[in-house]
Amino acid sequence: MSETLVFYSELDPFEQWRGLLAPLLPGVRIVRSCDEVVDPASVRYALVWKPPVGFFARFPNLQLVINLGAGVDSLVGRGDLPDVPITRLSDPDMARMMAGYVLFAVLRYARDIPAFERAQRERRWHYLHPREPSSIRVGVLGLGELGARAAQELARQGFSVRGWSRSPKVLEGIPCCAGQEALPAFLASSDILVVMLPLTPQTRGLLDAERLAMLPPGCCLINVSRGPVVDQAALTAALASGHIAEATLDVFDREPLPPEDPLWGMDNVLITPHLASVALPASAAEQIAANVARVREGREVQHRVDPVRGY
């Protein structure tokens, strides 16, 4: 019986993925789940981004679920997951795209660009002497595939970068600390805080009003992880009071961010619609094919997600 890979995503380009995967997966039929899957029993692999509830139940012989992205919170939290290995994309090009976004957002604050944008709207020449990058303390929460890469790019620009994670990490040139007890001091010494944590039961609401208050007055916050890692109401209040001077937000509690949300109207907030980094078919197709090959050979897959840990 021939094997099938079923694809589901409302955002990603199916034809491009199929065109790249087909030559790497000879003998595997690649279909979209909305198309007729000729024989659901032939489906061995699922390449998915936020499939609907009940999606997996149609495929009794599934052997591998590949999450079409790095963040797996929408997958591991659900109750209808099949008992098969789940992998995520772990792609250097995706990490570079994310690092580019973070670098842009940090440089924008480090070079006082929002102040110049405001001044320009008022036709006002507003000289602010540039600061040394080394005088700006950038804290990166989460030192995984994406966080570590972004921290390194920031360090290369000369910022005083520090990182925080769950377990201790060693990153060349970047002082790192780990665990909840290290968090208050870490927050208190971050002029710019970059949130790059996965959303898990432990990180949900981690940056609540109390922890946001630990940040130095006038700091900037960049969230590219998941909205619920930060208490959005507390963040909005901190931005309104000026305790947090500026924020760049790519992720939100509810997406799309509802039109009535006060964040839209805040002059000190830059909003982007959850695209800091996306799955890149050209560079990720090979690792998907490699994992399919591993399943066929009965070997352990790479970039496996631990549903209990949540990432």
Ligand X SMILES: NC(=O)c1ccc[n+]([C@@H]2O[C@H](COP(=O)([O-])OP(=O)(O)OC[C@H]3O[C@@H](n4cnc5c(N)ncnc54)[C@H](OP(=O)(O)O)[C@@H]3O)[C@@H](O)[C@H]2O)c1
Q: Which of 118, 274, 299, 309 is catalytic?
A: 274
Task: Name which of residues 55 to 74 contact ligand X (CB under 6 A).
Answer: 69-71
Q: Which of 108, 226, 243, 294 is catalytic?
A: 226
- Interface pick for ligand X out of 11, 275, 290, 293 (rule CB under 6 A): 275
- C-alpha 169/C-alpha 127 separation (Å) is 40
Hunting for tokens 């595997």 — which residue is that? 28
Cβ 108 to ligand X shortest distance, Å: 17
Cβ 196 to ligand X shortest distance, Å: 5
- How far, rounded to the nearest angstrom, does the alpha carbon of residue 198 sit from its chain's CA centroid? 7
- C-alpha 240/C-alpha 253 separation (Å) is 18
Q: Does the annotation count 309 as an active-site position?
A: no
Contact predicate 184/199, CB 8 Å: no
Residue 248 or 277: the one with the smaller Cβ distance to ligand X is: 277
Residue 4 or 232: the one with the smaller Cβ distance to ligand X is: 232
Q: Which of 255, 251, 295 is nearest to 66 (CA)?
A: 295
Contact between 200 and ligand X by CB under 6 A: the answer reads: yes
Which range in 116-124, 128-136, 193-201, 253-261 contacts ligand X by CB under 6 A? 193-201
- Interface pick for ligand X out of 67, 190, 225, 291 (rule CB under 6 A): 225
Q: Does the annotation count 118 as an active-site position?
A: no
- Interface pick for ligand X out of 43, 143, 235, 245 (rule CB under 6 A): 143
Contact predicate 94/277, CB 8 Å: yes
Residue 8 or 59: the one with the smaller Cβ distance to ligand X is: 8
Contact predicate 278/91, CB 8 Å: no
Binding pattern for the stretch 78-117 against ligand X, x by CB under 6 A and - elsewhere:
----------------------------------------
Binding pattern for the stretch 152-171 against ligand X, x by CB under 6 A and - elsewhere:
-------------xxx-x--
| HEC letters along 190-255 | CCEEEECCCCCCCCCCCECHHHHCCCCCCEEEEECCCHHHECHHHHHHHHHHCCEEEEEECCCCCC
Q: Which of 86, 84, 82, 81 is nearest to 70 (CA)?
A: 86
- Interface pick for ligand X out of 9, 42, 248, 277 (rule CB under 6 A): 277
- Interface pick for ligand X out of 161, 187, 196, 289 (rule CB under 6 A): 196
Which range in 15-23, 30-38, 144-152, 257-265 contacts ligand X by CB under 6 A? 144-152
CA distances from 147 to 59, 154, 198 (A): 35, 11, 10
Contact between 241 and ligand X by CB under 6 A: the answer reads: no
Contact between 224 and ligand X by CB under 6 A: the answer reads: yes
Residue 218 falls in which region: left (phi positive, over 0), alpha (psi -120 to 50) or beta: left
Hunting for tokens 């620009």 — which residue is that? 157
CA distances from 211 to 99, 132, 186, 193, 206 (A): 25, 27, 11, 12, 8
Contact between 145 and ligand X by CB under 6 A: the answer reads: yes
Task: Return the ∠ at Cα 147 (arms to 287 and 116), rounded to 5°.
Answer: 125
Which range in 79-87, 219-227, 237-245, 256-264 contacts ligand X by CB under 6 A? 219-227
Site residues (vs ligand X, CB under 6 A): 69-71, 142-147, 165-167, 169, 196-200, 202-203, 224-226, 250-251, 274-277, 311
Catalytically active residues, by annotation: 226, 274
